[in-house]
């Protein structure tokens, strides 16, 4: 463990790792005309459409953990760039259905390859993407993501 990690809180380490990853992905996908947030959106859309779905912006927000208004903003930008198409849902005129264009599919596939190489670098110290250590890490991260956080409950527990 590095000396910086020895004295850091778990929250600080989560923050630093998430920032390190965000910056690295931003730099890796920038040559493809994407940001990290756009990458998350197009790859989630790619995964959903590969299984036969045409998700709404709301479904994509739920899947990515991004705010619906932010997904809408990202989708409009990706549509303007020719990477995705938005269409009104005939069953719910308030909902927008999303689909990658041919160019969007090409860019998304290339971005996935770039980020997979980056992920290989990140997880190499744990034995790689398929190692038992990485599997345990994924389980621990999933448990943390599944834990509800309520800042108001936390404030109630502070000493007076």
Q: Which residue has the tokens 């290339």?
A: 110
| CA distance linking residue 101 with residue 118, whole number of Å | 25
| Beta carbons of 82 and 101 less than 8 angstroms apart | yes
Sort 6 into a burial class: Cβ within 10 Å, 0-12 / 13-18 / 19+: exposed
| pTM of the model as a whole | 0.85
Q: What is the pLDDT of residues 118-140, one digit of tens each?
A: 999 999 999 999 999 999 999 99
Q: What is the pLDDT of residues 83-103, one digit of tens each?
A: 999 998 888 888 889 999 999
């Amino acid at each position: 463990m590095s000396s910086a990690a020895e004295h850091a809180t778990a929250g600080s380490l989560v923050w630093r790792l998430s920032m390190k990853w965000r910056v690295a992905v931003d730099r890796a996908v920038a040559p493809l005309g994407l940001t990290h947030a756009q990458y998350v959106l197009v790859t989630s859309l790619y995964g959903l459409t590969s299984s036969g779905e045409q998700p709404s912006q709301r479904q994509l927000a739920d899947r990515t953990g991004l705010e619906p208004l932010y997904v809408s903003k990202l989708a409009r930008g990706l549509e303007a760039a020719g990477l995705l198409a938005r269409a009104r849902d005939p069953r719910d005129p308030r909902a927008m259905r999303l689909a990658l264009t041919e160019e969007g599919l090409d860019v998304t596939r290339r971005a996935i390859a770039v980020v997979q190489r980056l992920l290989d670098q990140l997880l190499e110290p744990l034995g790689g993407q398929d190692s038992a250590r990485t599997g345990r890490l994924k389980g621990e991260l999933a448990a943390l993501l599944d834990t509800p956080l309520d800042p108001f409950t936390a404030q109630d527990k502070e000493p007076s």
